[in-house]
Structure 1
Amino acid sequence: MLQVLLSGAVLFPGLFLAFRGILPCVFKLWSDADVVLVSERLVSFIHAVMATTAGVIIVSSCWGNVINDRNWLAPHFVIWYGVPYMTYDIFAMYLSHYHRFQVKGHEEYKQHSLRTINSFVRREFLLVLHHIALLTILLPVTLFFRDDQGDFFIGCLFLTEVSTPFVSLGKILIQLGLQDCWLHKANGGMVLLTFFMCRIALFPFMYWMFGCHYNIPFYSVPFHLSLSTNVGNFCILAPQVYWFILLCRKGYRLYQRSQ
């Protein structure tokens, strides 16, 4: 019973509802859009810390043999927390989108409808696609198509969440009106650094570790992997590169404004 209560299917929606109830009592001038946005980001922060911790544990325990070493957290975290969070987060992102446009006075956002859902999907298409891809690709691969190998690389994928707490903190600081303080600027630097290291450079690192295990040069690793593996990695990496470019542009604009 305790395991069910602590599972992501209960934990993340429960935290979201708790924050939605607490924040209006603390910040009485905030709109529903403000409360939903910060609630979503706080839950995202918590999940990212959990995923990063799991990733560190798995990677460190499987470092000796990146193919055959096992750690029970690899499949269990995906089942109990990864899949429930991705499912919840799609709904939370939709609520944030809905309340944001409702506050702006858009006529069609007076109530939930297929039109508001369609608008959300169109505006956040890449994020929604990213979540659905993780649900439909990462889950089956983790549970059924690995032959009990590669826990190390599953742990590496968990480490892509290292940048998320900084992204969430940045949005929360903006919501609090602290976008011009030194903390927000330092946090922006950490966003760029962690995003590049753990969402982009991480993929060449995984290829390099695979090559070290089999004593093959780095440049030939893709030719020793299946086409589906290479395509899957590319599909995960491509949006990360796109989002990193957007972050760099935003950082540059903020730097110019501060100058």
Structure 2
Amino acid sequence: MLQVLACGAVVFPGLFFAFRKILPCVFKHWSDADVVLVSERLVSSLHALMATTVGVIVASSCRENVINDRHWLATYFIIWYGVPYMTYDIFAMYLSHYHRFRVKGHEDYKQHSLRTVKTFVRRDFLLVLHHIALLTILLPVTLFHRKDQGDFFIGCLFLTELSTPFVSLGKIFIQLSLQESWLHKANGGMVILTFFLFRIALFPYMYWVYGRHYGIPLYSVPFHLPLSTNLGNVCILAPQVYWFVLLLRKGLRLYRRSRMPDSCPAAADNPKAD
């Protein structure tokens, strides 16, 4: 088991290190912040593709009996790759934060310190909390408190990662100065679509599947589940709704900005128009 756990602990930092060495050779004008950001996004996308593939396998294998059907990947993917990735990603996010502010010339970022860590946690509090909650709450529930039930729903939760490659690709397009291209705009549409379907609509779908299994209507499902299950789902869903609202606002701003030159040229020259 330790060898398998070490596999995930080696794969993600190893890929991150490899990208940090390769990217500067290809994009020689990139700063350290650029390289770290894109490296983090590439590793994040690879993990998301792995998680999504596992989610499809588990959910499709357990659809006959969504409560009692089992698949070994539902548990072992979390141990092998989920825990190492979440642990690595907190560190990678901190490095991205550190190099971004160091390139900007902030005095506090000449070297790593407790102050830079505190600033990172304060600025990205929700993301850090999300990662820690997955490690300290979802992991124990998955491994010890499910009573060998619900692999189908674990597979569905893996599918929430499907939007991650599109989010990462959007950051990479910006890094490549392609933010005005049709590729970036199309990718933005995919971000909103996949985020809504697999990070928000997925939860009522799981409640509906649970209700269908027991022959109860959707509105009765929350009263049929333990309070801890409902609270856990709310804790996972709440930040997704918040991030989705931010995505919609950003998309609306970009849409309005793209329409300005055509519909109102004078407004485009007004710095307060946005």
TM-score interval, normalised by the smaller of the two chains: over 0.9
Quote how far apart the aligned CAs of 1:256 are: 1.0
Tell me whether 1:158 sits opposite 2:158 in the alignment. Answer: yes
Tell me whether 1:95 sits opposite 2:83 in the alignment. Answer: no
Alignment partner of 2:140: what SS? helix
For the Cα contact (< 8 Å) 1:5–1:11, is it kept in 2? Answer: no
* Aligned partner letter, 1:97: H
1:16-95 equivalence runs, <5 A: 16-95=16-95
1:1-259 equivalence runs, <5 A: 4=4, 7-259=7-259
Sort the Cα spacing of 1:230 and 1:197 in 2 relative to 1 into closer, same or farther, 3 A: same
TM-score by length of 1: 0.98
* Aligned partner letter, 1:55: G
Q: Distance in 2 between matches of 1:19 and 1:5?
A: 22
Equivalenced residues, count: 258
String of CA shifts for 1:98-136, please: whole Å, max 9, x gaps.
Answer: 000001110000000000000000000000000000001
Alignment partner of 1:7: what SS? helix
Q: Identity, % of aligned pairs? A: 81
* Aligned partner letter, 2:156: C
RMSD across aligned C-alpha pairs, in angstroms?
1.1
For the Cα contact (< 8 Å) 1:4–1:10, is it kept in 2? Answer: no
Larger radius of gyration: 2
Quote how far apart the aligned CAs of 1:8 are: 1.4
Structure 1 unmatched ranges of 5 or more:
none
Q: Distance in 2 between matches of 1:218 and 1:33?
A: 47
Q: Distance in 2 between matches of 1:101 and 1:92?
A: 14
Q: Distance in 2 between matches of 1:223 and 1:18?
A: 49
User: Where does structure 1 differ by over 2 angstroms across 4 or more consecutive aligned residues?
Assistant: 3-7
Q: Distance in 1 between matches of 2:5 and 2:81?
A: 12
Sort the Cα spacing of 1:206 and 1:5 in 2 relative to 1 into closer, same or farther, 3 A: closer
For the Cα contact (< 8 Å) 2:19–2:39, is it kept in 1? Answer: yes
Quote how far apart the aligned CAs of 1:5 are: 8.8
For the Cα contact (< 8 Å) 2:55–2:159, is it kept in 1? Answer: yes
Quote how far apart the aligned CAs of 1:138 are: 1.0
* Aligned partner letter, 2:47: H
For the Cα contact (< 8 Å) 2:166–2:188, is it kept in 1? Answer: yes
